[in-house]
Chain A
Amino acid sequence: MRGDYCVVSCAELFRGDGAILASPMGPIPALGARLARATFEPRLLLTDGVSTLLDANDEPVGWMPYQRVFDMVWSGRRHVLMGASQIDQWGNQNISCIGDYDRPKVMLLGVRGAPGNTVCHPTSYFVGKHSSRVFVPSVDMVSGVGVDRGAHEIRGVVSNLGVFDFSSGSMGIRSLHPGVTVDEVKAATGFELNIPEPVPVTRELTVDERAVLERLDPGGAVRAQVS
């Protein structure tokens, strides 16, 4: 199932993070972060999605209202896994609006905390439907800043097609999910991707991870949201 690869790829983004606040936005990123904590990153701090930090048994262990989230952001003790309405080859992200700024064709959320996040602590992105409407040559309103504009660290971009990073400067393929071809990704990306030779394949879930996911997402209902 494609969702399994998205979740394990999101989990892998948090590998090595230790005791920091992990802020996954959306169901697949949240499942990834919870999988990471349940397996190889047991010290990750996760909230209930509101303002209570929960341990692995869902017991409250801390308080994280919005005001304190900014303390975590500005002290660098956080890794956010956000969505992107647009993202370019340098990892500049847009969640604000599409089109002319003074009179946008499509108004979205606004920049939210993306500008501060991206210059203060590691940031990753999840895109559920990889397309050239999202992976664009340049974004209309730079909300999250990319590696060419002073990002602290863009750890990676997970999509329904693969995993991408900036280890080669601009965005390149880290791995493609099984069954995905390079041509398919190229056709769905509005800029030139760096393509390694050979192209790695996203890893499988381990038996243990599969068992954890079955507990966190019984029947795979969340994972079925991507295809």
Chain B
Amino acid sequence: MSCVLSHEAVIAELWSGMTLGIGGWGSRRKPMSLVQAIVDSSLEDLTVVSYGGPDVGMLCAAGKVRKLVFGFVSLDSIPLEPNFRRARQSGAIEVMELDEGMFLQGLRAAAWNLPFLPTRAGLGSDVLSTNPQLKTVRDPYGGSDVVAMPALHLDASIVHMNRADESGNAQYLGPDPYMDDWFCLAAKRAYVSCERLGLEPSSPHRLLLNSAMVHGVVVAPGGAGFTQCLPDYSRDEAAQRAYVKGVKR
């Protein structure tokens, strides 16, 4: 059974006020065509959960973000994301700022149907003081306290992969899967845009996502926008610079 959808059909399955996970990392393999479709939609009031890049910046600039869950927002070759900075510096968005590893533990907890996962990451830092809802727990076996990172439950996730098939199996061909598998597992619904339909003959470990984790596939050549999508294309640095330049100061 085919789960191939159009961009519009994916947008129709999303709703204002939802919690949305976005895969990729910084300015790498971001589902930018789906992000653009959200920008162009009437969706608003989103809680966005992302290892952030221009996805976060564009959604902030479009006024779509009520709350951001993040560990960083960066364009990699340009360290700071101008639209995200503007949103933060004007107090326009609520934030939950996490250590990158706590963030991963939160996705894993959601994926595994656990209320939380323990981690040392965050102890002693202002991540705990700026997020008073985060608790530490006593090691029941007599060790020291650890952070109980709560599950980051996602209503939906969007990720971009190099290849996918009609059933929702998907393949990354670049150097790093990022956290895309966890974004899909942590979400009730996961949508994968892909450069091309059809899986490549390649090592099985590149088949990161399977049809049990994916609810919709969108065929989107160039769907990572100017972000890096190796080996299909590298980052379009000129386009990224133009994006940054276009941000009003």
Give the chain A neighbours of B104 by CB distance below 8 A.
Answer: 67, 70
Q: How far is the CA of A97 from the CA of B123 in the complex (A)?
A: 19
Asked if A143 meets B125 with Cβ closer than 8 Å, knowing A110-B72, A110-B97, A111-B98, the reply is yes
Cβ of B42 under 8 Å from chain A? no
Q: How far is the CA of A108 from the CA of B102 in the complex (A)?
A: 19
Q: How far is the CA of A109 from the CA of B120 in the complex (A)?
A: 21
Asked if A111 meets B99 with Cβ closer than 8 Å, knowing A104-B89, A150-B123, the reply is yes
> Which residue in B73, B124, B178 is a CB contact (below 8 Å) of A119?
B124
> Which residue in A51, A96, A109, A111 is a CB contact (below 8 Å) of B74?
A109
Q: How far is the CA of A150 from the CA of B100 in the complex (A)?
A: 19
Is there an interface contact between B101 and A119, defined as CB atoms closer than 8 Å? no
> Which residue in B101, B177, B179 is a CB contact (below 8 Å) of A113?
B101
Chain B binding site: helix, strand, loop or mixed by DSSP? loop
How many whole Å from A101's CB to the nearest CB in chain B? 6
Give the chain A neighbours of B102 by CB distance below 8 A.
Answer: 115-116
How many residues of B are counted as interface, with CB atoms below 8 angstroms from the partner's CB atoms? Answer: 37
> Which residue in B73, B127, B179 is a CB contact (below 8 Å) of A109?
B73
Q: How far is the CA of A74 from the CA of B146 in the complex (A)?
A: 13
Is there an interface contact between A111 and B72, defined as CB atoms closer than 8 Å? yes
Cβ of B116 under 8 Å from chain A? no
Chain A binding site: helix, strand, loop or mixed by DSSP? loop
Asked if A103 meets B120 with Cβ closer than 8 Å, knowing A73-B101, A115-B102, the reply is no
Asked if A115 meets B176 with Cβ closer than 8 Å, knowing A67-B104, A103-B91, A107-B84, the reply is no
How many whole Å from B248's CB to the nearest CB in chain A? 16
Tell me the chain A residues, 79-127 only, with Cβ under 8 Å from chain B.
Answer: 96-97, 101-116, 118-120
Cβ of B17 under 8 Å from chain A? no
Is there an interface contact between A116 and B74, defined as CB atoms closer than 8 Å? no
**Chain B window 150-177, contacts with chain A (Cβ cutoff 8 Å), 1 for yes, 0 for no:** 0000000000000000000000000111
Is there an interface contact between B72 and A112, defined as CB atoms closer than 8 Å? yes
Q: How far is the CA of A80 from the CA of B100 in the complex (A)?
A: 15
Cβ of B16 under 8 Å from chain A? no
Cβ of A52 under 8 Å from chain B? yes
Give the chain A neighbours of B126 by CB distance below 8 A.
Answer: 96, 101, 111, 141-143
Cβ of A46 under 8 Å from chain B? no
Is there an interface contact between B120 and A119, defined as CB atoms closer than 8 Å? yes
- Closest Cβ neighbor of A101 among chain B residues: B130
How many whole Å from A122's CB to the nearest CB in chain B? 14
Cβ of B191 under 8 Å from chain A? no
How many whole Å from A23's CB to the nearest CB in chain B? 13
- Closest Cβ neighbor of B205 among chain A residues: A63
Cβ of A149 under 8 Å from chain B? yes
Q: How far is the CA of A101 from the CA of B129 in the complex (A)?
A: 11
Tell me the chain B residues, 65-80 only, with Cβ under 8 Å from chain A.
Answer: 70-74, 79-80
> Which residue in A65, A67, A145 is a CB contact (below 8 Å) of B123?
A145
Is there an interface contact between B88 and A104, defined as CB atoms closer than 8 Å? yes
Is there an interface contact between A103 and B100, defined as CB atoms closer than 8 Å? no
> Which residue in B80, B119, B124 is a CB contact (below 8 Å) of A151?
B124
Is there an interface contact between B123 and A107, defined as CB atoms closer than 8 Å? no
How many whole Å from B226's CB to the nearest CB in chain A? 18
Is there an interface contact between A149 and B88, defined as CB atoms closer than 8 Å? no
Cβ of A1 under 8 Å from chain B? no
Cβ of B121 under 8 Å from chain A? yes
How many whole Å from B61's CB to the nearest CB in chain A? 14
Q: How far is the CA of A66 from the CA of B180 in the complex (A)?
A: 11
Cβ of A50 under 8 Å from chain B? yes
Question: Which of B97, B100, B122 has the largest number of chain A CB atoms within 10 A?
Answer: B100
**Chain A window 30-63, contacts with chain B (Cβ cutoff 8 Å), 1 for yes, 0 for no:** 0000000000000000000011100000000000
**Chain A window 148-159, contacts with chain B (Cβ cutoff 8 Å), 1 for yes, 0 for no:** 011100000000
Sample of 27 A–B contacts (CB below 8 Å)? A50-B175, A50-B176, A51-B175, A65-B178, A96-B126, A97-B88, A101-B130, A107-B84, A109-B72, A109-B73, A109-B79, A111-B97, A111-B126, A112-B72, A112-B100, A113-B99, A113-B100, A115-B102, A115-B125, A116-B99, A119-B120, A119-B121, A120-B120, A120-B121, A141-B126, A141-B130, A143-B125
